[in-house]
A = this chain, B = another copy of it.
Amino acid sequence: MPDLLHGDENEAAVNSLRSAVMRLGRRLKHQRVDESLSPTEMSVLGTLARCGSATPGELARKEHVQPPSMTRIVALLEAKGLVRLEPHPDDRRQKVVSQTERAEAMLEESRRKRNVWLASLAEGLDDDEWAKLRAAAPVLEKLAHL
């Protein structure tokens, strides 16, 4: 259990994280690098790129989305040719989702575009602030998974 001595500071931080995360989330929604690809779809592709492949259920848990939503997302991605669905080797209830070469290319493209946005943000932040963000990023990821 971390520093109970800093309760007030933590509380203030939680407040500010809450509102910042929400506003930033809305903003990110609009700044999607690829029109026609929702933020969650992007996120799923990112997860697949990192983890190789996964079942819809696993993806739903990772993204903190209900299974039916993930079914829909995967279906959309498949329709766009960004994802492949194969039967699970030893459980015929499950399926295995993996990204296609096309998704790989798209991610590369989107990475490039993201640099533009990054550059524009860079105008507003100094080195120190960036450093803090870099340090906090993994913690936020951990938090997102509780």
Question: Which residues in A have some Cβ–Cβ distance to B below 8 Å?
Answer: 1-3, 6-7, 9-28, 39-40, 42-43, 46-47, 63-65, 111, 114-115, 117-118, 121-127, 129-130, 132-146
Closest B residue to A9 using CB positions: B134
- Copy total for this chain: 2
A6 touches B136 (CB 8 A): no
Given contacts A20-B137, A133-B13, contact A121 B144 (CB under 8 A): no
Q: Are A24 and B140 in contact (CB under 8 A)?
A: yes
**Does A22 lie within 8 Å of B25, measured CB to CB?**
yes
Q: Which residues of B contact A24 (CB under 8 A)?
A: 21, 140, 143-144
Contact with A65, one of B26, B43, B138, B145 (Cβ below 8 angstroms):
B26
| Distance from A121 Cβ to chain B, minimum over Cβ atoms (Å) | 7
